[in-house]
């Protein structure tokens, strides 16, 4: 299965988003560092997790751990809630110092609600549905409210979620395959998040995880489906889209804040990637 990195675009102050999906489109194999939870509101949904196809029914929940490759087959007539959030929004150092890491919690837990208790499933869905409604309504203090709900979800999982039914050999293989790679990729992603608006070189980034530029190039392409420079360009385009849609800035400022070396380069790369010039994209979003 090919794996491609996905970078969820969060449009509020916390790294969380939620939406409804009608199931009409195929979503190709991908992974992301964010946790993703889906709840089947209507119909049936066929998902692929690694090399397995799973059919989910109305009322069922499934979550994907950080870095777990997955895809969705077209499932007309279905509808699902989707929640995505970065584990960095939780104060793990303070609140989880005596617990296994959040990464391990999601990695080792049983991901499908058909293996959960009815009580746990109902509470889990209720909390996440409240988070969906809170983001839709955006009342004063909604970020605090959403963060509180997500912390309740985590607490509930530590107390009640079943552990995956895997053998020690499968578990060891799974952890070796994904955890080490994700830890290394997360270092890269975090570095890019903090420094994307600066000139970045392959030597500088590869040094962050102790790789030679040659090995880093192969490692990144193998695990994300794209070169590092493609990833960096895509990330900068995402940042520029947000600026163009939400702020009234001169193009030179948009280019600089998004990490492009010049307005000319920004204009050329943006039009090639998006199919519109930055100015036309900005007008389209504001209309």
Q: What is the pLDDT of residue 178?
A: 59
| pLDDT tens-place string over residues 11-50 | 768 999 999 998 877 777 678 889 999 999 999 998 988 6
Q: Provide the phi-psi class of 259: left if phi over 0, else alpha when psi is between -120 and 50, else beta.
A: left
Mean pLDDT along residues 235-258: 87
Q: Provide the phi-psi class of 122: left if phi over 0, else alpha when psi is between -120 and 50, else beta.
A: alpha
Q: What is the pLDDT of residue 166?
A: 61
Domain boundaries along the sequence of the chain: 16-160, 168-225, 231-286
Judged by average pLDDT, the poorest of 108-117, 192-201, 222-231 is 222-231
Diameter over CA atoms, the chain: 58
Report d(CA 67, CA 223) in Å as an integer: 10
Task: Write down the CATH superfamily of domain 16-160.
Answer: Regulatory protein AraC (2.60.120.280)
Distance of CA 228 to the CA centre of its chain: 18
The pTM (predicted TM-score) of the whole model is: 0.70
Q: 16-160 and 231-286 share one CATH topology? A: no
Confidence band of 52 (pLDDT split at 50, 70, 90): confident
| pLDDT tens-place string over residues 117-130 | 999 999 999 999 99
**Region 231-286: CATH code:** 1.10.10.60
> Pick the residue with more confidence: 113 or 174?
113
Report d(CA 238, CA 244) in Å as an integer: 10
What interhelical angle do 278-286 and 251-258 show, nearest 10?
100
Percent residues over pLDDT 90 in the chain: 55
pLDDT of 173 over the 70 cut: no
In order, the DSSP letters of 199-264 are: ---HHHHHHHTT--HHHHHHHHHHHHSS-HHHHHHHHHHHHHHHHHHH----HHHHHHHHT-S-HH
Mean pLDDT along residues 120-146: 97
């Amino acid at each position: 299965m090919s794996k491609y990195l996905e970078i969820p675009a969060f449009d509020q102050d916390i790294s969380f988003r939620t939406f409804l999906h009608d199931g009409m489109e195929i979503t190709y194999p991908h992974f992301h560092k964010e946790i993703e939870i889906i709840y089947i509101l209507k119909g049936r949904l066929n998902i692929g997790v690694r090399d397995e196809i799973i059919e989910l029914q109305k009322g069922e929940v499934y979550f994907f751990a950080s870095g777990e490759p997955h895809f969705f087959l077209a499932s007309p007539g279905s509808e699902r809630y989707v929640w995505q959030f970065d584990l960095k929004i939780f104060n793990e150092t303070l609140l989880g110092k005596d617990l296994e890491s959040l990464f391990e919690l999601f990695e080792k837990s049983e991901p499908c609600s058909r293996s959960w208790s009815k009580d746990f499933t109902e509470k889990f869905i209720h909390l996440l549905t409240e988070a969906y409604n809170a983001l839709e309504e955006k009342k004063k203090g909604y970020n605090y409210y959403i963060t509180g709900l997500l912390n309740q979800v985590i607490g509930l999982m530590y107390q009640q979620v079943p552990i995956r039914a895997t053998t020690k050999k499968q578990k060891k293989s799974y952890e070796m395959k994904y955890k080490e790679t994700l830890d290394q990729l997360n270092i890269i992603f975090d570095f890019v998040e903090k420094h994307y608006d600066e000139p970045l070189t392959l030597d500088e980034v590869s040094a962050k995880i102790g790789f030679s530029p040659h090995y880093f190039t192969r490692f990144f392409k193998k695990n994300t489906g794209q070169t590092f420079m493609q990833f960096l360009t895509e990330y900068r385009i995402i940042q520029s889209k947000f600026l163009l849609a939400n702020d009234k800035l001169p193009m030179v400022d948009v280019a600089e804040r998004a990490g492009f070396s010049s307005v000319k380069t920004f204009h050329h790369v943006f039009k090639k990637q998006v199919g519109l010039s930055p100015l036309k994209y900005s007008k389209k979003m504001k209309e």
